[in-house]
Amino acid sequence: MKKVSLADIQPEKTTHPDLRDAKVRQVINRSTVGSHRGMLLLTDFEPGGEHALHRHGASEQISFLLKGSAAHLTANGPVKFEAGDAIYVPPNEWHGFRNTGAESATLVSLYSRAAAPSEPGYESFVGEVRADGEPKVRKVSLSALRGDAALDERAGFFGLGVYWLATRETVGASGAVLGASTFEPGGVHEHHRHPHGDEILFILEGGGDHLTPDGAVPLSAGEIAYIPANEYHGFRNKKGVLTRTLFGYFGVGSLAEAGYEVRGAAP
C-alpha cells in the first residue's frame, strides 16, 4: 500500500493549447506509486475554464465531478455535468469539459489501462461540433444510486454502504471501475484482496485506519491509498465520524473481475 496526500502535490498550470484556466495534479500513476494498470489525476478549473474536445486512442476515462457545475463536451454538443455525476468515455470518443459555474470546479479523472501521462494517447478535435446529433454520454449520478445490498456482513462489510458509479454493467467499462462508499461511525471493511485489479481509496470526508497485514495506517480527508492487486487491505472508520470515499479498480470492469477474497476479521 502506498499513501498519497493531495496537500503534498503541487498543482501544475498547464500550457497545453486545449486546456485553459486549469491546474492539474498528477496523483496516482507509474511514477508516483508504481501503478501499471491505471492512473488518477485531479484538475481544478477556474470559472469559464475549459478542456477542449479531444480523445484518447489507448485508454478509457472515467470522470467524476467532485465540486462545481459544468458541461461535459461532446462532438454533438454539451451535456449538463453536476457535482456527484460520473461520466464514462470509451477509447476514441471525443470529449471535453467546461466549468459553467461561478466557482471553481474539481474533476477527478481515472484512466486505464494507461499508467503514465504519455500513455493514453491524445488527439485534438478538428472540425465543427454537430449540434443536430444526440450526444453519446454514459452518465451516472450518485444521488440516484442505492447501496449494493449484496455487500453485507457475510462479505466483510460492517456499517458500510457501497455505490457503483462506473462499471461494465452501469456504463460498459472494461478496464476501470469507479464507486463511492460511506462508512458509518465505527464501520469496518474486513481484510480482503483483489487478485486481478489494483485499487484506490480516496478519502473525501472523515477518515480512519487503512488496515494492512503489518498494522494500521491513518487515512484522512484528501489522502488516497493505492493498493496493488493481491495485497490484503481493509478499512476501519473512527467512532463518531462519518467517512465518505471514492474508490476504484484499475485493469478490470467489475468487482467480480477484480476478484474478492476475505481474509478474516480485521485485527
Same domain, residue pair 167 and 78: no
How many CA atoms within 13 Å lie on the side-chain side of 266?
A: 25
Q: What gap in Å lies between CA 3 and CA 233, rounded to an integer?
A: 13
Are 128 and 103 within 8 A, CB to CB?
A: no
Distance CA 224, CA 39 (A): 12
Residues 195 and 108 in one domain: no
Cell of 36: 501499471
Q: Where are the alpha helices (DSSP H) in 30-133?
A: 30-33
Structural domain containing residue 212: 143-264
Asked if 121 and 173 sit in the same domain, the reply is: no
Residues 15 and 90 in one domain: yes
Alpha-carbon span 231 to 221, nearest angstrom: 23
Running along the chain, 267 residues long, what does each successive block of 10 average in pLDDT?
95 88 96 97 97 97 98 96 98 97 98 95 93 89 96 94 98 97 97 97 98 95 98 96 98 98 67
Task: Note whether 49 and 7 are same-domain residues.
Answer: yes
The reported pLDDT for the residue numbered 136 is 85
Q: Are 142 and 62 in contact (CB under 8 A)?
A: no
Do 187 and 240 sit in the same domain of this protein? yes
Indicate the pTM of the whole model. 0.95
Nearest CA to 250 out of 56, 29, 43, 85 is that of: 29
162-185 pLDDT, tens per residue?
A: 999 999 999 999 999 999 999 999
Tally the C-alpha atoms within 13 A of residue 75's C-alpha that lie toward its C-beta. Answer: 11
Residue 131 pLDDT: 80
Ramachandran angles phi, psi of 171, nearest 5°? -135, -5
Radius of gyration of the chain (CA): 18
- Burial of 210 (C-beta count, 10 Å sphere; 0-12/13-18/19+): buried
| Number of folded domains that form the chain | 2
Q: Which of these three, 98, 121, 141, is where a domain ends?
A: 141
Do 73 and 135 lie in one domain? The reply is yes
Cα 244 from Cα 189, distance rounded (Å) = 13
Query: Do both 123 and 195 map to the same domain?
Result: no
Within this chain, do residues 174 and 54 fall inside the same structural domain, yes or no?
A: no
